[in-house]
Amino acid sequence: MLVFAFSVMSLGGGARAASAQVMASGQTTVAPASISCTTLVYGLYYGSRDMWTNGEVTNLQNFLFAQGYMQVGATGFFGPITMHAVEQFQASQGISAIGIVGPLTRGAVARVSCGGNPPPQSNLSIYSINPSSGPIGTTVSVTGFGFTNDNTIHFGNGVITHVPITSSIAIACTTDPNCHGGINQTLTFTVPSYLNPACYSAGCMMPSWQVVPDAYNVSVENSNDTSNTMTFLVTGGNSQMSPTVYSVSPTSGPIGTAVTVYGSGFNANDIVLIGGGAITSVSIPGSGTQLSFTLPSGVGPYCAPGYMCAMMLRLLTPGQYQISVKDTFTGATSNSVSFTITSGTSDQTPTISGIDAPASLAVGAIGTWTVHASVPFGSTTNLRYSVLWGDENFGMNAPMMQTSTNAPSSVTFTHAYQTIGTHTAVFTVTNDSGQSATTNSTIMVTPFY
């Protein structure tokens, strides 16, 4: 049984250390007698455990203890004490003190414990953040180099994920002392009211953090490296914060595609705007940093409660669309990002919308049944219609089947029953993938007078 002891942590700047390290109940920490060469290959951060890192959390803690940065022995859990010790070690090595063990910190650990080459130059750096202070809801631009189209911004002890590059400008290296490779890149994010924890592994049960007025360390992490840090001062809250969209995934797909929107400031009042219409069926899990919906074949206008609207469906045809998020409570609308609807559909399941059938029929008389069916907009599948009349055990009647190659909206069948009584005809519509829909029709067959 594991017993967890938690201490309250501020998100601000990582400046205040927590007072308790989480450990297994009854576990005794033992200080290592000596430390040999320590080589780390995993990225380690708050919440990491030995079971996920092949024992590297313990190796890191043993190193930090031997160097005098930790006063307790290894536990195998990267908690607040370990994070504070990492920050102290990073500061001593001239590395941004963010408490995350990335490539530069792993190299410094190896250099100190094993000897070796000087630390490598970072492939990722922040030049400036603008503005450097503001309330929740402030839009902040981060300028630097080494950014990718999928960046994680560390904001205090929380993270803002999936932040893409908003601009990349070539500059003259002879005039800009911050020039690196002739490129200045910019990321843009909105200061959120809540943050997800810096915890990436499956099974992470850490809660979301509330952002309060304080100073916060800001850094960028991506596949290139982890950057230096700068400080942003949160000056207050903003209950009317507008939603902000950072990116969508995927960026293209057919009708029926499940789409996730990443950003901040999302809440239960939000809808998605696309193609001049609105998608009101959305899912907003977690702390308001992502929103999910399924791309429909058509959208209608958003009609606020108490208002009369002309409800006209707009079909979503292949092409490029702008997606934005609207808070229906405040009326605030986010920025927009592009999504391309491709041809075809990810869901081609047929639907039977109705059947025209007689309620009764004289024995031997010919009746007519018309089945109405459809597939999602954009589907290219063929439909095949079949019917079991319900009198196959009487006489020589065999199942009737009619096939179409153009997915028509309706097919008509005819049949004459030779026995008196109640019969049930079962109609099935099947597409090329074997997906089908079924309906039935009951008819009373009476004597012929």
Inter-residue contact 445 to 362 (CB < 8 Å): yes
Query: What confidence score (pLDDT) does residue 91 get?
Result: 84
Alpha-carbon Rg for the chain, nearest whole angstrom, is 32
The answer to the question of residue 239 being in a domain is no
Question: Is the predicted pLDDT of residue 305 greater than 70, yes or no?
Answer: no
The answer to the question of residue 39 being in a domain is yes
In this structure, the answer to whether residues 341 and 356 fall within a common structural domain is no
Query: What confidence score (pLDDT) does residue 129 get?
Result: 92
The answer to the question of residue 423 being in a domain is yes
In this structure, the answer to whether residues 257 and 149 fall within a common structural domain is no
Query: What confidence score (pLDDT) does residue 395 get?
Result: 45
Average pLDDT over the chain, rounded to an integer: 77
Q: pTM to 2 decimals?
A: 0.41
In this structure, the answer to whether residues 325 and 248 fall within a common structural domain is yes
Q: The dihedral of CA 125, 131, 133, 138: what is its sign?
A: negative
In this structure, the answer to whether residues 92 and 168 fall within a common structural domain is no
End-to-end Cα spacing for the chain: 82
pLDDT tens for each residue of 263-283 = 888 888 889 999 888 898 898
In this structure, the answer to whether residues 222 and 318 fall within a common structural domain is no
In the chain, the number of structural domains is: 4
In this structure, the answer to whether residues 296 and 198 fall within a common structural domain is no
In this structure, the answer to whether residues 79 and 65 fall within a common structural domain is yes
Question: Is the predicted pLDDT of residue 347 greater than 90, yes or no?
Answer: no
Question: Rounded to an integer, what distance in angstroms lies between the CA atom of residue 358 and that of residue 367?
Answer: 7
Q: Answer with the one of 120, 135, 156 that is the final residue of a domain.
A: 120
In this structure, the answer to whether residues 129 and 225 fall within a common structural domain is yes
Question: Rounded to an integer, what distance in angstroms lies between the CA atom of residue 444 and that of residue 231?
Answer: 80
Query: For residue 365, what is the domain's CATH number?
Result: 2.60.40.10
Q: 245: which strand partners?
A: 263
- For 131-223, list the strands marked E by DSSP: 133-134, 139-145, 151-155, 158-163, 165-170, 183-190, 194-197, 209-210, 214-221
The answer to the question of residue 173 being in a domain is yes
The candidate with the shortest Cα–Cα distance to 426, out of 410, 409, 443, 403, is: 443
Question: Rounded to an integer, what distance in angstroms lies between the CA atom of residue 7 and that of residue 57?
Answer: 20
Q: Answer with the one of 201, 234, 267 that is the final residue of a domain.
A: 234
Lowest mean pLDDT among 68-77, 116-125, 153-162, 187-196: 116-125
In this structure, the answer to whether residues 40 and 111 fall within a common structural domain is yes
CA distances from 37 to 10, 49, 106 (A): 34, 21, 12
In this structure, the answer to whether residues 6 and 106 fall within a common structural domain is yes
CB hemisphere CA count around 47 (13 angstroms)? 14
* Stretch 386-392: mean pLDDT: 83
Query: What confidence score (pLDDT) does residue 82 get?
Result: 92
DSSP code, position 333: B
pLDDT band, residue 117 (cuts 50/70/90): low
Residue 142 domain boundaries? 125-234
In this structure, the answer to whether residues 43 and 64 fall within a common structural domain is yes
In this structure, the answer to whether residues 429 and 368 fall within a common structural domain is yes
The answer to the question of residue 55 being in a domain is yes
Q: Label residue 268 exposed, middle or buried (CB < 10 Å: 0-12, 13-18, 19+).
A: exposed
The candidate with the shortest Cα–Cα distance to 357, out of 412, 400, 398, 397, is: 412
Question: Rounded to an integer, what distance in angstroms lies between the CA atom of residue 10 and that of residue 17?
Answer: 9
DSSP code, position 66: H
Q: Answer with the one of 93, 120, 147 that is the final residue of a domain.
A: 120
Query: What confidence score (pLDDT) does residue 140 get?
Result: 93
Query: What confidence score (pLDDT) does residue 130 get?
Result: 92
Query: What confidence score (pLDDT) does residue 238 get?
Result: 58
pLDDT tens for each residue of 5-62 = 333 333 343 333 333 343 333 444 444 445 578 888 888 888 888 988 889 999 999 9
pLDDT tens for each residue of 47-100 = 888 988 889 999 999 999 988 898 888 899 998 889 889 988 988 887 878 888
Query: What confidence score (pLDDT) does residue 311 get?
Result: 54
Pair of tokens at residue 85: 């010790």
* Stretch 243-254: mean pLDDT: 89
Query: For residue 114, what is the domain's CATH number?
Result: 1.10.101.10
